[in-house]
Amino acid sequence: MKYTLGFRIWHWLSAIVILGLLGTVFLRKTFLSYRTNSEIIMTKLTDMGADIFKEDAVIIAKAIRNIMWEWHLILGYALAFLVLYRVVLFFIDRSKRDAFSSLTLHKKGVKISYYIVYATIFFITISGFVVYLHEYLELSQETTKQIKSLHELSYNVFLVFVPLHILGVFIADAKDEHGIVSTMINGKTKDNF
Ligand code: HEM
Ligand code: HEM
C-alpha cells in the first residue's frame, strides 16, 4: 500500500477545495469584476434614461460579486480543516515515505515542489484568516493590506503548481510510471495490484 485511504481522501478533497478557491478568484477577476460590471450597470442605466453615480454602480457590482465570494470563505474554512487533517496525517499516517537521499534527481525536484506547496497551503490559510478576521484581531489597515498582498502573492504558487502537477502526473503515467494516478486513487503500486 503506497498511500493509505486517509491520505488519498485528503489529496482529492484538497484538490477539489483548492481548485474551487482558484475558481472563486478567477470569477472575481473576470466575469464578476466590479470594475467591468459597474461600467456595464452605468451604461445600461444611462441608455434607459436613469442616471447613476459611479460610486453607486460600484456598490451594486460589489454586492453581486460578494454573493459568489462567500464561497471563497466557505472553501477557506474547508481548507483550514484540511490543513489540520494533514497535520494529523503527518503524525499517524503510515503512507510510504521514501528517504530523500534515495530518490533520483527528478524525484527530489518533485518532492521539493510538494514541500513548497505544503508551506504555501499553510501560509495562505493563515493569512486568509488573518485578513478575514482583521477587525476582530484589531489590526491596522496598513498591516491588513500587507498581509493581503502576501496572501495574493502566494496565490501565484498555485497558478504555477496546479497545471504543472496535473501535466506532470499525466506525462509520468503515460511514460514510465504507469498507474501513478491510479495509485492516488486505489493506493496500490504496480507490484501489488
Ligand atoms: C489543486 C489541485 C491539487 C493539489 C493541491 C495537489 C497536491 C498534491 C500533493 C501535495 C501531492 C504530494 C503528496 C505527498 O506525497 O505528500 C500530490 C501527489 C499526487 N497528486 Fe496531486 N494535487 C492536485 C491535483 C491533482 C490531480 C487533478 C491529479 C490527477 C490527475 C493529481 C494526482 C496526483 C498524484 C498521482 C500524486 C502522487 C505523485 C507522486 O507519487 O509523486 N493531483 N498532489
Ligand atoms: C488556495 C487557497 C487560496 C487562494 C489561492 C486564495 C487567493 C486569494 C486571492 C488571489 C485574493 C485576492 C483577490 C483580489 O483582491 O483580487 C484573496 C483574497 C482573500 N482571501 Fe483568499 N485564497 C485562498 C485561501 C483563503 C483562505 C483559507 C481564507 C480564509 C478565510 C481566505 C480569505 C481571503 C480574504 C478574506 C480575502 C480578501 C477579500 C477582500 O479583500 O474582499 N483565502 N484570496
Which residues contact ligand 1 via a Cβ below 6 A? 11, 14-15, 18-19, 110, 114, 117, 162, 165-166, 169, 180-181, 184
Atom of ligand 1 nearest to the CA of 95: 15
Q: List per-residue pLDDT tens for the chain, 193 residues long.
A: 689 999 999 999 999 999 999 999 999 999 999 999 999 999 999 999 999 999 999 999 999 999 999 999 999 999 999 999 999 999 999 787 778 999 999 999 999 999 999 999 999 999 999 999 999 999 999 999 999 999 999 999 999 999 999 999 999 999 999 999 999 999 987 665 4
Long-range contact set of residues 25-33: C-beta below 8 Å, sequence gap at least 24: 25/72, 25/155, 27/68, 28/65, 28/68, 28/69, 28/72, 32/64, 32/65, 32/68, 33/65
By most ligand atoms within 8 Å of CB, the mutation choice from 11, 123, 175 for ligand 1 is 11
Half-sphere exposure of 51 (CA within 13 A, CB side): 1
pLDDT at 191: 62
Which pLDDT belongs to residue 190? 63
Contact 93, 6 (CB under 8 A): yes
pLDDT of amino acid 2: 83
Position 192 scores a pLDDT of 52
